[in-house]
Amino acid sequence: MHTGVVPLGDIFELRRSVLRPGRPRNTAAFIEDGHPGVFHVAAYDPDGTLCACATFFPEQLPGEAAPAHRLRGMASADAVRGQGYGAAVLQAGMAEARARGAELVWCNGRVAARGFYEHQGFTAVGDEFQLEPAGAHYVFVAKLS
């Protein structure tokens, strides 16, 4: 497995196919993709096939003063779920965010992914809420050491 920071074009189709299946291509474009501090992380299998991706950008967690990066657009190919590619992308992105001065990483994560995020050092904060069309979410926060 190999991970690294990559251009948006390298991960966009995986993001779209996993997070916005059957929806128009533009629904997978985030306004944050144009942020000056944005970076995208990808994980590849030994053959060089893209298996997972995530996007990180500087954004304060509401109510917190600590420098932070927000995670969006995390996706793993169906064929490799549970094989560690998502965890590798998340850990590589957190390390890059730390190198860029972040003290925490946060995201709006699906309720169904709670166990995954908690296993990666995140804590669910606040009440469950709805994000359409994706459904029930929590805010997950990880402090970077």
Cα separation values, 140 from 15, 22, 123, Å: 20, 27, 5
DSSP E strands, 14-134 = 39-44, 50-58, 68-76, 104-110, 123-131
> What pLDDT does 135 receive?
80
Q: What is the CA radius of gyration of the chain?
A: 14
Domain ranges for the chain: 2-102
Residue pLDDT, tens place only, 23-57: 888 888 999 998 889 999 999 999 999 999 999 99
- pTM for this model (two decimals): 0.92
The answer to whether 63 and 45 are in contact (CB under 8 A) is no
**pLDDT beneath 50: ranges in the chain:** none
Name the burial class of residue 72, with classes exposed (0-12), middle (13-18) and buried (19+) by CB atoms within 10 angstroms of its CB: middle
For domain 2-102, give its CATH number from 3.40.50.10190, 3.40.630.30, 3.10.450.50, 3.40.50.970.
Answer: 3.40.630.30
